[in-house]
């Protein structure tokens, strides 16, 4: 069952064509990777899908309903969660508060239930012991887990991961792989993953698309796609 459909997504800034006619889809439970060099348009793609940018042309549909140009918070409430690359989210809030806020995304949830959801999610990602800590005092790896927790707490049907493996040690990365695959298998959550660390991508994604200069230049299983000569050219040999 198709969950996310992106059709003909196009966006220009001034004279620069940041996104040109990009189309792809993600099925329920599928994990799709987005590969591409820096400046290729991956973050623009995420911003367009999650409502932070409005496309010049094109449609984004979630579960058959158009979410193009909708406000980010409304898109989030419809089941599309996202992590951010920013290193200092919600500084003055505690871990528990940051996660609980996302729990309120779930329609009809009350105060007591929000506490419960937050506790469950924190335990799942291994942050329960740190729940009273300020997010400003977390380590980089813990922040990444917090971002994931916030996405999970919203009860989404799909999560967009934005470079979540960046700067992680191998053990931490393996932990993230486990969390993603578990969420996919156990909760049926679909994933759209932007990632530089190809090793991470290859461990989780079933399929992938390659973006360069705002255009989709390849599509297919990661291993296959990475052997594509076009893709190699795009990366100019910078593989991890």
Partner 1 sequence: MKLGFRYGVGAVILAVVVAAYFSGSVRWTQLVINGLWFALLGAAWNIQAGIAGVLGLGNALFIAVGAYTSIYFYNTYGISPWIGMWIGAGISMVIGVLVALPCLRAGLRGITYVFATFASSQILLFWLLDQRWLGGAGGIRLERIDHSPINFRFTTNEPYLLLISAMLAAVMFFTIFIQDRRWGLYMRAIRENEKSAAMSGIPVLRYQLIAVALSALFTSIAGSFYAQFQMSVSPSAVLSLTMALNTIIFTVVGGIGFVFGPVVGAFGLIALSEIALHLSGTSADFASIRMLIYGASIIAIALFLPGGLMSLFDPRRSKDES
Site of interaction with partner 1 (CB under 8 A): 50-52, 71-74, 76-77, 81-82, 84, 86, 88-94, 97-98, 100-102, 104-105, 111, 114, 134, 136, 150, 154
Half-sphere exposure of 6 (CA within 13 A, CB side): 23
Distance of closest approach, residue 98 Cβ to partner 1, in angstroms: 8
Quote the least distance from Cβ 28 to partner 1, whole Å.
Answer: 21
Contacts of 95 (CB under 8 A, 6+ apart): 122, 127, 130, 131, 132, 133, 134, 135, 138, 146, 149
Please state, in angstroms and as integers, the Cα–Cα distance from residue 14 to each residue in 20, 38, 43, 82, 102, following that order. Answer: 14, 20, 18, 27, 35
DSSP per-residue letters across 92-121: TSBHHHHHHHHHTTSTT--HHHHHHHHHHH
Q: How many CA atoms lie within 13 A of 10 on its CB side?
A: 7
Given the complex with partner 1, which of 90 and 211 has the nearer CB atom? 90
User: Shortest approach of partner 1 to residue 27 CB, angstroms?
Assistant: 23
Nearer to partner 1, 166 or 215 (CB): 166
Nearest distance in Å: CB 178, partner 1: 24
Least distance in angstroms from the C-beta of 47 to partner 1: 10
Beta bridge partners of 160: 82, 192
Of 77 and 124, nearer to partner 1 (C-beta) is 77
Nearer to partner 1, 96 or 231 (CB): 96
Residue 54 or 74: the one with the smaller Cβ distance to partner 1 is 74
């Amino acid at each position: 069952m198709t969950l996310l459909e992106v059709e003909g997504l196009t966006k220009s800034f001034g004279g620069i064509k940041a996104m040109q006619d990009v189309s792809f889809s993600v099925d329920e439970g599928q994990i799709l990777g987005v590969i591409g060099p820096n400046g290729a348009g991956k973050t623009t793609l995420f911003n367009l899908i999650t409502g932070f940018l409005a496309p010049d042309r094109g449609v984004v549909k979630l579960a058959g309903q158009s979410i193009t140009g909708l406000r980010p918070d409304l898109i989030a409430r419809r089941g599309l969660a996202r992590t951010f690359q920013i290193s200092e989210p919600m500084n003055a809030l505690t871990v528990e508060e940051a996660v609980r806020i996302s729990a309120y995304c779930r329609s009809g949830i009350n105060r007591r239930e929000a506490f419960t959801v937050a506790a469950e999610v924190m335990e799942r990602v291994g942050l329960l012991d740190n729940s009273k800590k300020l997010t400003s005092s977390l380590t980089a790896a813990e922040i990444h887990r917090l971002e994931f927790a916030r996405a999970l707490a919203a009860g989404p049907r799909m999560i967009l991961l934005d470079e979540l493996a960046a700067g992680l040690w191998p053990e931490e990365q393996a932990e993230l792989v486990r969390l993603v695959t578990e969420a996919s298998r156990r909760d049926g959550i679909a994933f759209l993953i932007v990632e530089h660390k190809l090793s991470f991508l290859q461990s989780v994604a079933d399929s992938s698309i390659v973006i360069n200069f705002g255009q989709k230049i390849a599509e297919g299983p990661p291993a296959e796609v990475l052997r594509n000569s076009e893709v190699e050219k795009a990366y100019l040999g910078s593989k991890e």
